[in-house]
Amino acid sequence: MIFFRTDHPAGGLQHPVKPREHIGEGPAGIAALLEILPDQLSFGRWRRHTHTNHHCSGKTVAHQVDPFPKDTAQNGEPYPCSCIVPEKLLEFWKEKSVKAINAEESRGHWDYLYSAKELIELTGNRFHKKKNLVNQFKKKYDYQYVPFDAKMIDMALAMQEDWCTWRDCESSEALSAENRAISRILDNRETIYGLTGGALLVGQEMVAYTIAEQLSQDTIVIHFEKGNPDYKGAYQAINRMFLEHNGEQFDFVNREQDLGDEGLRKAKLSYHPVDFVKKYRVTLK
């Protein structure tokens, strides 16, 4: 289940998330805990069109003929519903829905898909700079790669606090929302099924970490990846080393959206995606 943005008075995150049975597994567990804008929750995890339940105006609807709720306001008019959906689901709804659907491309919500093999090997001129930065990190620092477990949580939270100071999260709604989401995920990590991750330590200091999850049989999704900017090559190193330890069984890596941020878009494109999960903002006409 995924939660949609809606103008319904009861819109937003509808379910409690503390008990394990309410958190659910996989992407649903992540969605239930994220405190970021609902737009960022909608279908961001799927590389393929999959069967799942969706929430809009607090009503659960499956892949059915009419995917939109029947809720109405006091004046008898339906509450407007707006949601971000992947292209395959949009095509299905257009084919099956009895209602007119208006869809606009939402480039900022496209997921970036990469070849896991390419990100591990970093071969060829396309990845020359990335590989150089990884090698510089390895040569300069006495580092240790470790799996992300419960012992890493306090270190990651401390690093995240420092990261937000470096990036001045309070001046950005998106960064502030992401910071709150990361804190909630880390605080509740042990209750969320299927999360994995890795971290880089230099001495007793965490300098980079990744939180990820198996998305499907052939795809792993990277939810969060952070590095200390004082350690040159930390981002490139955690990107590669995490996949070396956890990604060899996958064909693809989903690194999620850029949300329209030009700097983030440039960084994601620099790793040469092989495809995108295109998404659209869907509303009723």
| Buried-state track 231-240, b at ≥16 Cβ within 10 A, e below 16 | bebbbbbbbb
Across the range 267-278, mean pLDDT stands at: 96
Distance from C-alpha of 152 to C-alpha of 186, rounded to nearest angstrom: 9
Q: Which positions ≥6 away from 142 have C-beta within 8 Å?
A: 202, 203
Asked if residue 29 has pLDDT above 70, the reply is: no
* High-pLDDT (> 70) share of the chain, %: 70
pLDDT of 195-209, one tens digit each?
A: 999 999 999 899 999
Domain, as residue range, for 248: 112-277
pTM of the entire structure? 0.73
pLDDT of 249-271, one tens digit each?
A: 999 999 999 988 898 999 999 99
Number of domains, the chain: 2
What pLDDT does 75 receive?
53
Burial class (CB in 10 A: 0-12, 13-18, 19+), 142: exposed
- 203 within some domain: yes
Instruction: Let me know whether 56 and 171 are in one domain.
Output: no
- 284 within some domain: no
Distance from C-alpha of 35 to C-alpha of 180, rounded to nearest angstrom: 7
Instruction: Let me know whether 60 and 118 are in one domain.
Output: no
Tell me which of 245 and 19 has the higher pLDDT: 245
Asked if residue 46 has pLDDT above 60, the reply is: no
Tell me which of 27 and 79 has the higher pLDDT: 79
Asked if residue 78 has pLDDT above 90, the reply is: no
What CATH number corresponds to the domain at position 250? 3.40.630.30
The rounded Cα 39 to chain-centroid distance in angstroms is 12
Would the CA dihedral through 135, 258, 85, 41 be positive or negative?
positive
101: pLDDT confidence band, cut at 50, 70 and 90?
A: confident
45: pLDDT confidence band, cut at 50, 70 and 90?
A: very low
Tell me which of 8 and 98 has the higher pLDDT: 98
The rounded Cα 135 to chain-centroid distance in angstroms is 28
- 282 within some domain: no
Instruction: Let me know whether 138 and 230 are in one domain.
Output: yes
Instruction: Let me know whether 101 and 231 are in one domain.
Output: no
Instruction: Let me know whether 22 and 146 are in one domain.
Output: no
